[in-house]
């Protein structure tokens, strides 16, 4: 078994089969939840909860990045890795600056990702 096959086997074992859009969608929703809770914490002046929610979002992004298939020719995995990196930077900005604007950008990006990816997967299923 080569390295790529081993990684794919490991990834499939995490999900009792191949990771699919439903799993990604749940992850994106959890990321949005953490962002909303971080925003509420900033508005309430609760720096500890803000930091905890941002740390949870960052940890989930780490897990979600780890399951991406970024092998040559896989454009979805590579694109999502780029998006996740941008989300991480936005979280860093939100945390260091206690920036509600950064969390608004974060929420908007995840909402678009969720909506557009679901439209894409639905069109593929319909075809």
Q: Domains of the chain: which residue ranges?
A: 3-121
Kindly tell me if the per-residue pLDDT of 69 is higher than 80. no
What pTM does this model have?
Answer: 0.78
Long-range contacts of 30-38 (CB under 8 A, 24+ apart): 30/60, 31/57, 31/60, 31/61, 31/87, 31/110, 32/107, 32/110, 32/111, 32/114, 34/60, 35/94, 35/103, 35/106, 35/107, 35/110, 36/103, 36/107, 38/94, 38/95, 38/103
Matching residue, tokens 């908007």: 108
Kindly indicate whether the domain formed by 3-121 is annotated with CATH number 1.10.1060.10. no
pLDDT in the model for residue 39 = 98
* Span 3-38, pLDDT tens digits: 666 656 655 655 555 555 667 888 899 999 999 999
* Span 71-119, pLDDT tens digits: 788 788 888 899 999 999 999 999 999 999 999 999 999 999 888 776 6
Structure-block tokens of residue 115:
């909506």
């Amino acid at each position: 078994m080569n390295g790529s096959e081993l990684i794919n086997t490991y990834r499939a074992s995490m999900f009792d089969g191949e990771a699919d859009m439903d799993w990604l969608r749940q992850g994106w929703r959890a990321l949005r939840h953490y962002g909303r809770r971080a925003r509420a914490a900033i508005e309430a002046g609760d720096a500890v909860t803000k930091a905890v929610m941002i740390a949870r979002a960052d940890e989930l992004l780490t897990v979600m990045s780890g399951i991406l298939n970024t092998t040559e020719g896989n454009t979805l995995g590579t694109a999502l890795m780029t998006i996740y990196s941008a989300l991480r930077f936005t979280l860093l900005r939100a945390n260091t600056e206690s920036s509600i604007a950064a969390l608004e950008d974060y929420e908007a990006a995840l909402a678009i990702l969720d909506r557009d990816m679901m439209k894409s997967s639905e069109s593929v299923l319909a075809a």
